Structure 1
Amino acid sequence: MGELVWQEDLLGERFQQATLPLGSDGEGDVVATLVRHRPTATELVSPFAPAHGIDVLYVHGWSDYFFQTGLAEHWHRVGARFYALDLRKYGRSLRDHQTPGYVADLATYDADIDAALTAMGHGENAERPSRRRLVLMGHSTGGLTLSLWASRHPGRAHALVLNSPWLELQTGGAGRAFIAPLVQLGARVQPLGTLPQVDLGFYTRSVSADTGGEWSYNKLWRPARGFPAHRAWLNAVLEGQAAVAGGLGIDVPILTLLSARSTILPRWSDQMRFTDSVLVVDDIARAAVRLGSSVTVARIEGALHDVVLSAPAPRAAAYAALTRWLRAYAP
């Protein structure tokens, strides 16, 4: 990879982005995009802050991209340098010739992650390894992807923070085991075949400023009912979840942030503004303890699927839980 070219990001002057070339696949050229938070010179933090000396790499979920500026600002307040990665075929990295979000194996993202870590000074073969510690943070499918990556690459990261990671299918382990052979067969026969649309747009309704939520974002990169899902992509997710069910053996501290409750219904309910309307959080909590030997699960009352997009009170509670955990484990 040549020298990175940083330019102002769409989030404004406090953020910069750089394109990470990843070669090509069957659809053409592929890139990822690294975003970094650039605090002003007056925004000093204490050298005794709990995340002092830490670099954070954040990875988004399905049908998503990085726009959570408050998350970057919180990591800065506790002393860390914050980076976010828009994976290939998502957000800033999505190109017109590509199928949004599509991969047939979650390990494909190893190239995206390694390119980002190299740009951050945490490359595996760096001549001068960074003395700063590395914390990976992933939301939903990004949390699953980073968990699998950390298991395959022991010693690279010092801790893992998961925000409602998609560690188990909404049907539970028994349902996943039942449908997995059918999905696997479909993935072999027609990998790009689309699956029935099951996202009814309720989660978007709870988040978007257009429908009573708090947040504005690019709706082409984060569509109301998600991108079309494909058979090979779902098979990759199911294989990853099966690996989690078998235990990943991650040997660094892990924090899993979850809503206290789920509301999974075929119709809209106002409770979806204060609960996870995407995942069954009790199943995720059970799956999380299979990730490694030191797992903390923090359940946040009133939180949404993306806990940092929740209403102000649960959002503050999530950041407080993260800070407490850092005080215990970051040193």
Structure 2
Amino acid sequence: MSSPISSPVRTRFTAAPENGMAITARGLAKTYGSTGNDPKEALKGIDLDIPVGCVFGLLGANGAGKSTFINIMAGTVVKSAGRISIWGTDIDDHPRQARANIGIVPQELNVDAFFTPRETLELMSGLFGVPKSERRVDEILDMVSLTEQADFYARRLSGGMRRRLLVAKAMVHSPPILVLDEPTAGVDVSLRQRLWDNILTLRDSGVTVVLTTHYLEEAEALCDHVAIIDKGNVITSKPKHELMQEANVKDLHLTLTAPPPDPLPEALIGLGAIWQDGTLKIQFNPREISAGAIISKVTALGLEIGDVSTQEPDLEDVFLALTS
């Protein structure tokens, strides 16, 4: 068998793994300072499957283990135990090809100030062994809206432009998997929306996107599948719609034509109702009681309802419930 170092790197999409998983981790563990007196378990033998062709949200608080997981895939951190396969390639068996199967966009703006975007992409293409006839520099610059700035020195680019350049750098070798580590941290609203559009465009073109973010509304808007890591453990990994259905909580807001009695009747207290800001607010489990049944109980008390609204749980509610 040829050495992984000397084996050629594929620079185009190969067929998706037969198991349908872009990334598969089994028993993946990392302990820092294992020879010292105070070892730190960053990953505690996690199992994780990332499906092909989705936007996969990897969520967790600072120190949960997200960066360690990404750095193991990138080859900058050596795992302590377990296996991980990237687009069907085990990182132990063929580390060079495994790294070529993935493009990683770091949170830090690490671009060379004295290179232009075009020069940067040409350099990265060469480092990945992409033949000149197969390079897509102009196409990638257009995708990230840097065509007009293609020949400017990077030091002249705004922070948002530099962040888009990082995405371009990660795409030069046409990896089937793109990892975005906090891609919209510190950017303005218009740039965030543009980056969101880019992410969805990449997914629609067949790229599997792994997204880490502290903006849970961003994950809710973009992700098809969500995993939550807490203290080195994967506590859930499910399609987003299934995860949201498990919240089991809704908020019902009833605007009454007149204030209810003070104190509230026992029937309302039993429903968990509170009177706040001129609205009767009731949090309920839709699996146990319907909104219609609650409204019937309220009207049976002689209270007249002027307006009704319900509020679904969001990903932040689910995240806090699982990590509390």
- State the structure with bigger RCO (CA 8 A, min sep 6), 1 or 2: 2
TM category (shorter chain) comes to under 0.3
With structure 1 as the length reference, what TM-score do the two structures score?
0.27
> Whose strand fraction is larger, Structure 1's or Structure 2's?
2
With structure 2 as the length reference, what TM-score do the two structures score?
0.27
